[in-house]
Structures are given as C-alpha cells and as structure tokens.
C-alpha cells in the first residue's frame, strides 16, 4: 500500500485532485479532491458505498487500487473545477462517485511514488557505500510507452520495468562497476530505486521484459535485487544532481554529490 504524505508534501500539495484506478482494467472508478491525506481515506472506509465495494472487490482479487494525483498546488475553488472537469471527461456513469463534483498549475497524473520523488526529494549529504548511479531517463521512456498509466505505480510490471531500465545495457568501467555494492536508478537527478548488485554480465546475458533494450558489443548488465530497507531509505528519493553526458557515475563512501 502506498505511503501517506508527510508534512512537507502536504504543504506543497495544498488542495489536489486525485483518481482511483482499478489495476485489473486500468479504468478510473473514482475522482476526488481534498488536502492532507484525504486521498488515502477511502482505503479504510466502510459501508455500502459503491466505491467501498469496488475497493473490496479489487483487494479480494489480490490487488490494491492505484491512487494517482491528477493536479496539485491548487486553491479549493480550482480543485472543485478540476474535479468537475475530470468527471465530465471520464463520464459520471463510469465512476463510483456518489455526487458529481462542483462545477493548471501542475496537471498530469502522477503516482504516489512520483509525488514523493518530486516533492520530498532532499539532497543526499554523503555516500556511505560504493554506488554506481545510472541515469535511466531514456530507457524509462520505452517502459512508459509500453505500460502507459501503469508505469509509475507499484505493480509487478512497473517494478520489473524500472529494474530492466536500470540494469542494462551500459558501457561501464567493469573493474569500478564490480567494486560497487549498489546501483541507483536516477531520473531527473533523483534516486528512484536502489538495487543490491549480485553480478555484472556481458550485455544480453539475461532476459528483458522490454525487447527494445538491445545489447551492444562492449556493454554490460547487472543482476540483483531491491536493496534492504535501511540502504533503500538512505538513498531513495534523494537528490544527487543531474548527470553529465555520461549516464554512469561512480561514488565512493564519503563522496558528496555535485
């Protein structure tokens, strides 16, 4: 289940509009507006409301509803207008909203993880491990195109796509790469995920979900797993600055991001 917003994020979000999506069909079934952690309140709601029943049905099938922020940084009246426009666009008959909403500054659907990355990213003060930071912006575009709105949520597809986009294939200094404990997936100067590296292999040694990730001679890929919580919490959603033209950067313990 997605983590709630912290105090800093709540302040930055102000009033916002959010949507609930059924991950089984990618269909939006609820549009709402609010502030604070209102977007998460429906997850613990009870009663006979169709929205509550839909959430229970999704969970009964082994899934969690996907929560996305449609617009944020709004005043209350603008939030009402955006909510109403979204309901009109989707069609009230397709939603579980009990009433039609009344009736940007930062529009465009964002997953909860994307909100955390955008609003809560703090600069990393120093590295405590040998890390290879990999800028994955270009390779992520292929995953976004394939997965659509599912890309930035916590689905198995999205997790696998980010892993594949990070792990290969790259032109690396193999000796330096093999000395690194962790690989950081970096997008927009912010660490989006942290992987413990098990092994580096010649490019194309393992299967990729996105077949467009074609290996080239002289390139390598790693295999690994998501890092343990303590390491992940240290680096994930931290700013380490934009890369130069080279998507690969190496950091030693004690290094500070530039």
In sequence order, the β-bridge partners of residue 123 are 239
Decide if 182 contacts 167 (C-beta within 8 A): no
Note the pLDDT of residue 213.
Answer: 55
The Cα angle at residue 129 between residues 128 and 134, in degrees rounded to 5: 115
Average pLDDT over residues 119-136: 89
Query: Looking at the predicted structure, is the pLDDT value of residue 138 above 80?
Result: no
Does the domain formed by 7-119 have CATH 2.40.50? no
Q: What is the mean pLDDT of the chain?
A: 82
The mean per-residue pLDDT over the stretch 100-106 comes to 39
How wide is the angle at C-alpha 186 spanned by C-alphas 180 and 189, nearest 5°?
Answer: 120
With b for 16 or more beta-carbon neighbours within 10 A and e for fewer, the 114-139 pattern comes to bbbbbbebeebeebebbbbbbbbeeb
How would residue 143 be classed by pLDDT, with cut points 50, 70 and 90?
A: low
Average pLDDT over residues 189-209: 88
* CATH 3.40.1440 domain range(s) in the chain: 7-119
Residue predicted with more confidence, 104 or 233: 233
Residue 148 pLDDT > 70: no
Q: How confident is the model at residue 206 (pLDDT cuts 50, 70, 90)?
A: confident
Residue 147 pLDDT grade (very low, low, confident, very high; cuts 50, 70, 90):
low
pLDDT at 100 over 50: no
> Is pLDDT above 60 for 92?
no
Percent of the chain with pLDDT over 90: 43
Q: How confident is the model at residue 257 (pLDDT cuts 50, 70, 90)?
A: confident
């Amino acid at each position: 289940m997605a983590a709630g917003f912290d105090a800093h994020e709540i302040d930055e979000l102000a009033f916002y509009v959010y949507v609930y999506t059924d991950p089984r069909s990618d269909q939006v079934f609820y549009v709402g507006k609010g502030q604070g952690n209102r977007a998460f309140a429906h997850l613990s709601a009870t009663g006979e409301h169709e929205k509550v029943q839909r959430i229970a049905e999704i969970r009964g099938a082994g899934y969690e509803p996907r929560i996305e922020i449609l617009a944020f940084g709004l005043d209350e009246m603008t939030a009402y207008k955006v909510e109403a426009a979204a309901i009109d666009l989707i069609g009230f008959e397709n939603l579980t909203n009990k009433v039609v909403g009344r009736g940007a500054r930062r529009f465009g659907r964002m997953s909860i993880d994307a909100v955390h990355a955008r609003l809560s990213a703090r600069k990393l003060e120093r590295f405590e491990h040998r890390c290879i930071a990999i800028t994955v912006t270009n390779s992520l575009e292929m995953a976004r195109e394939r997965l659509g709105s599912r890309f930035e949520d916590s689905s198995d597809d999205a997790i696998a796509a980010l892993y594949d986009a990070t792990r290969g294939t790259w032109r690396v200094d193999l000796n330096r790469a093999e000395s690194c404990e962790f690989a950081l997936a970096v997008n927009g100067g912010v660490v989006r995920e942290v992987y413990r590296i098990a092994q580096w292999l010649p490019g194309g040694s393992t299967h990729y979900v996105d077949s467009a990730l074609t290996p080239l001679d002289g390139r390598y890929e790693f295999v690994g797993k998501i890092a343990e919580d303590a390491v992940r919490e240290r680096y994930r959603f931290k700013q380490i600055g934009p890369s130069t033209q080279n998507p690969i950067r190496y950091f030693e313990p004690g290094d500070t991001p530039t």
